[in-house]
Amino acid sequence: MALRTPHRLKVVLVTTGREEQAVSIARVLVGERLAACVNVVGPVRSIYRWRDAIEDDHEYLLIIKTRATLYIKLEKRVRELHTYEVPEVLALNADRGSPPYVKWVLESTGPPRAPAKKGPPKRATNLRGGSQ
């Protein structure tokens, strides 16, 4: 059964003009834990109005999965990395998701886990159960 995730997760759409830029942005967002996963799709055809002209371009679409609480930081980072004067950064609420996937997104965008602490080394035993 899908887990309701009201306002916990967002899917953010971003377009770029070049695949290299899309991949670069994706790697930064995942590396900085601002996104759990970024799909790079494309090329896609975008038809839009820019400065009173209708444009028809090939772009690359990033589909970014993140925590809702990280949206402002994510948007700021995308705008820092992007070459467009007005980059598309459009967030959609993710209303439901499979529980294991939702858990993974939340873990992947949370603080890094500290390595497990190791206790003192255990004494080796021989096959008869005695200490060596």
pTM of this structure = 0.82
Q: Which domain holds residue 103?
A: 3-108
> Could you list the pLDDT tens digit for every one of the 132 residues in the chain?
666 665 699 999 999 999 999 999 999 999 999 999 999 999 999 999 999 999 999 999 999 999 999 999 999 999 999 999 999 999 999 988 999 999 999 999 998 877 666 656 665 555 555 554
Number of separate domains in the chain:
1
Distance in angstroms (rounded) separating the CA atoms of residues 129 and 81: 61
The 10s digit of each residue's pLDDT in 62-79 is 999 999 999 999 999 999
Residue 101 lies in a domain: yes
Q: What is the bridge-based pairing of β-strands 53-67 and 89-97?
A: unpaired
Residue 55 lies in a domain: yes
Residue 43 lies in a domain: yes
- At 123 the pLDDT is 59
Residue 115 lies in a domain: no
CATH number at residue 48: 3.30.70.120
Residue 82 lies in a domain: yes
Residue 128 lies in a domain: no
Residue 9 lies in a domain: yes
